[in-house]
Amino acid sequence: MSVANLDNFQLERVSVKSQALGKDVHIACRKASSEPPLLLLHGYPQTSHIWHKIAGRLSERFTVVATDLRGYRASDKPAGSDSHVEYSKREMAADQVQVMSHYGFERFSVVGHDRGGRVAHRLALDHLARVDRLMVLDILPTLYLYEHTNMTFAQGYWHWFFLTQPAPGPEKMILSGPEEFWETMSRRESHKAVVWSDADLRAYNSAFVTPEGVHASCEDYCAAASIDLEHDRAGRAAGRKLEVERFDVVWGGQGMMPKFGDVVGLWRRHCGAASAVSGTAFDSGHYIPEERPDELLERIYSFLA
């Protein structure tokens, strides 16, 4: 699907209430209507543009709502605080629930890639009644990854540790050489299979390479390494698991996730007994929606049928 076709989706900035901030923030959305509702959540350092190869075709069968997460592209970018609560996945998940309520959807399915998968995971934990089916792309649970970090993971996902350094260190380093940073991120073994057009790169970099955008994305990762882990540990201590009726995980066979072993089995340990857990690897790296769009489209059709 071309950039122009994705841009033909209805564009709107939806006002949602932030509990942490005590005020409204605005979440940018692209929407195209059919039925039933499907929420698409992107990852880092990308935007809702990542769905450009499949969103149009999905909109022939679903009401597609593709948002920019809090802190990304045209969504608001709060400054953050020492606790990073403003970018907790609990806050970001609540944003998405309110967006779907704005469009009149009290129950919907979710597909989340990368950071969007982590927001989707928290959304299903905190708002189970709102989620029909959940698919995550190329992730394992955040707490599991931090607790099982080894040299392979630290070298492959080094940005998890770089972006969490005290501000404004990472921000200044990125902004001093944004093209070099993007290139370094993109040539990792797990990420280098994707081919971006000049239009794709403009769509991503125009949104990312601003002081506010870089800082917001650092806050996203700082939250993941702090308050999100607190929430995850509290949930584990209370025996909470994913209870969504159907859960599917798709990962890149050339990526980082299979290095941790049985991806489906690891997710099954985080799901309740009543959840039907499925999963498969694609012959791809990390950016599945852009590397294997046709396969992903068929997987989504089958999973949501």
Q: Which residues are catalytic?
A: 114, 286
- Contacts of 176 by beta carbon, 8 Å cutoff, 6+ apart: none
The whole-angstrom separation of Cα 221 and Cα 203 is 22
> What are the Cα distances from residue 19, in Å, to 16, 95, 242?
10, 10, 23
Choose among 247, 228, 19, 243: nearest CA to 129: 243
> What are the Cα distances from residue 140, in Å, to 8, 117, 144, 164, 236?
33, 9, 7, 19, 15
Helix axes 211-224, 227-237, angle to 10 degrees: 30
Distance from the first to the final alpha carbon of the chain: 22
The whole-angstrom separation of Cα 140 and Cα 237 is 19
Choose among 11, 2, 47: nearest CA to 32: 11
Between strands 246-252 and 63-67, the pairing is unpaired
Choose among 120, 154, 156, 158: nearest CA to 136: 120
Q: Tokens 């450009």 appear where?
A: 52
**Which phi and psi angles does 132 have, rounded to 5°?**
-80, -70
Instruction: Return left, alpha or beta for 114; rule: phi > 0 is left, psi -120 to 50 is alpha, else beta.
Output: left
CB-based burial label for 151 (10 Å; 0-12, 13-18, 19+): exposed
